Amino acid sequence: MSINFFSALIAKRRLPAQLRVNNMTERVRLRFFISLVLVVATFLIFAKVGGHDFISYDDNLYVTDNQMVQGGLSWSGFVWAFTTVHSANWHPITWLSHMLDMQLFGLRPGAHHLVNVLFHSLNTVLLFLILARITGAIWRSAFVAALFAVHPLHVESVAWVSERKDVLSTFFGFLTIWVYVRYTERPGMTRYLWVVLLLVLGLLSKPMLVTMPFLLILLDYWPLGRMQGGGQSVTESNPVRPKATLSQLLVEKIPLLVICTASGIVTLIAQKKGEAMADLSLGLGLRIANAAVGYARYLGKTFWPVGLSIFYPHPGAGIPVWQVAGASFLLLTVTGLVLMRLRQSPWLAVGWFWFMVALVPVIGIVQVGAQSIADRYTYIPLVGIFIMIAWEVPELLKRWRIGARALGIASALVLLLLSSLTWRQLDFWKNHETLFRHAISVTKDNCVALSSLADYLARKGNVDEAYSDLNESLRLCPKDEEAWYNLGVLQRNRGEMAEAENSLREALRLKPRYTKAWSNLGSVYMAQGRMAEAIEALLEAARVSPDDASVWFNLGFLYGKNGQPEEAVEAYCESVLLKPAYWAAWNNLGITYKNLGRISEAAAAFGQAAQIRPDDPMAWYNLGILYANTGDFTKAIGAFRNAVRVRPDHAASWYEMGMAYSSMGRQQEAGEVVRTLQSLDPGLAEKLSSRIGQSR
Contacts of 632 (CB under 8 A, 6+ apart): none
Sign of the alpha-carbon torsion through 668, 669, 675, 677: negative
pTM: 0.84
Say what the pLDDT of residue 243 is: 85
Q: Of 649 and 424, which is predicted with more confidence?
A: 424
Q: Which of 426, 436, 418 is nearest to 309 (CA)?
A: 436
Low-confidence winner among 110-114, 219-223, 423-427, 492-496 (lowest mean pLDDT): 492-496
Superfamily covering domain 614-696: Tetratricopeptide repeat domain (1.25.40.10)
Q: State what percent of residues in the chain have pLDDT above 70.
A: 93
Kindly report the CA angle at 68 between 66 and 70, in degrees rounded to 5?
70
- Residue spans of the domains in the chain: they are 2-428, 445-545, 614-696
Three-state DSSP at 591 gives: helix
Residue type at 597? G
DSSP 309: -
The most confident of 117-121, 235-239, 270-274, 594-598, by mean pLDDT: 117-121
Average pLDDT, stretch 107-111?
Answer: 96
Indicate if 614-696 has the same CATH topology as 445-545. Answer: yes
Q: What is the pLDDT of residues 331-349, one digit of tens each?
A: 999 999 999 999 999 999 9
Q: Cα separations (Å) of 139 from 34, 410, 659?
A: 9, 14, 76
Q: Encode 13-43: b = buried (16+ Cβ within 10 Å), e = exposed.
A: eeeeeeeeeeeeeebeeebeebbeebbebbb
Contacts of 158 (CB under 8 A, 6+ apart): 46, 49, 116, 117, 120, 167
d(CA 634, CA 107): 36
Say what the pLDDT of residue 121 is: 98
Cβ pair 224, 184 in contact under 8 A:
yes
Q: Which of 328, 256, 239 is nearest to 290 (CA)?
A: 328
Q: Where are the beta strands (DSSP E) in 488-639?
A: none
Burial of 196 (0-12, 13-18, 19+ CB in 10 A): middle
Q: Of 33 and 235, which is predicted with more confidence?
A: 33
Whether the per-residue pLDDT at 524 is higher than 70: the answer is yes
Q: What's the pLDDT band for 357 if we cut at 50, 70, 90? A: very high
Q: What is the pLDDT of residues 391-450, one digit of tens each?
A: 999 999 888 877 778 899 999 999 999 999 999 999 999 999 999 999 999 999 999 999
Cβ pair 54, 70 in contact under 8 A:
no
Kindly report the CA angle at 525 between 519 and 527, in degrees rounded to 5?
105
Burial of 182 (0-12, 13-18, 19+ CB in 10 A): middle
Q: What's the pLDDT band for 529 if we cut at 50, 70, 90? A: very high
Q: Does domain 445-545 have CATH number 1.20.210.10?
A: no
Low-confidence winner among 53-57, 108-112, 235-239 (lowest mean pLDDT): 235-239
Question: CA torsion angle for 590, 596, 599, 602 (degrees, to 10)?
Answer: -10
Cβ pair 224, 241 in contact under 8 A:
yes
Rg of the chain, C-alpha, whole Å: 31
Say what the pLDDT of residue 3 is: 37
Average pLDDT, stretch 664-693?
Answer: 86
Say what the pLDDT of residue 281 is: 53
